[in-house]
């Protein structure tokens, strides 16, 4: 059914649930060439700085925070988006409002194809 290919960013039951670290959870949607990850970051929580060979794009859907990428910190607002080439260390620290980030991985990250815990890399 075509409806099986349609989702909503605010559906709490959609996707594969994953706790990345304390205060940072995601729901993962697996494709063949790309994977989407809807990350919820609690106020002032921060994801572990990590890297992986897959390219990543992020879009800030709600809240505020700081994108940490390549050792630099970039404050971001709703509507900002960014590209993270493969193997560039990165992370995100939410501001006082918390944050919701839509991440895209291409190709899909093997570690995220099942529910679980952690960023899924050796340094996470």
Binding site for a second copy (CB under 8 A): 2-3, 5-10, 29, 31-34, 36, 54-55, 57, 59, 67, 69-70, 72, 74, 76-77, 79-86, 102, 104, 106-107
Phi, psi dihedral angles at 5 (to 5 degrees):
-100, 5
Report which of 105, 122, 119, 121 is spatially closest to residue 47, judged by C-alpha positions: 119
Indicate the residue among 30 and 124 with the shorter CB distance to a second copy: 30
What is the residue whose two structure tokens read 């409002």?
97
CB of 10 or CB of 22, closer to a second copy? 10
In the complex, the smallest distance separating the C-beta of residue 22 from a second copy, rounded to whole angstroms, is 26
**Closest CB 120 distance from a second copy, rounded Å:** 17
Q: How far apart are CA 66 and CA 121, in angstroms?
A: 22
As measured in angstroms, the least distance from the Cβ of 66 to a second copy is: 12
Strands of the sheet with 90-106, listed across from one edge: 72-76, 55-69, 90-106, 35-41, 24-30, 16-21, 116-117
Comparing CB distances to a second copy, the nearer of 38 and 41 is 38
CB 26 within 8 A of CB 38: yes
Q: How far apart are CB 62 and a second copy at their closest, in Å?
A: 10
Which lies closer to a second copy via its Cβ, residue 47 or residue 108? Answer: 108
């Amino acid at each position: 059914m075509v409806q099986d290919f349609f989702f909503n960013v605010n559906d709490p039951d959609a996707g594969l649930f994953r706790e990345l670290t304390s205060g940072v959870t995601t729901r993962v949607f697996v494709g063949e060439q790309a994977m989407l990850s809807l990350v919820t970051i609690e106020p002032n929580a921060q994801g572990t700085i990590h890297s992986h060979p897959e390219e990543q794009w992020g879009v800030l859907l709600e809240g505020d925070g700081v994108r940490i990428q390549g050792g630099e910190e970039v404050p971001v607002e709703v509507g900002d988006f960014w590209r993270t080439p493969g193997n560039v260390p990165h992370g995100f620290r939410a501001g006082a409002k918390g944050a919701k980030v839509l991440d895209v991985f291409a190709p899909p990250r093997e570690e995220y194809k099942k529910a679980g815990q952690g960023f899924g890399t050796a340094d996470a």
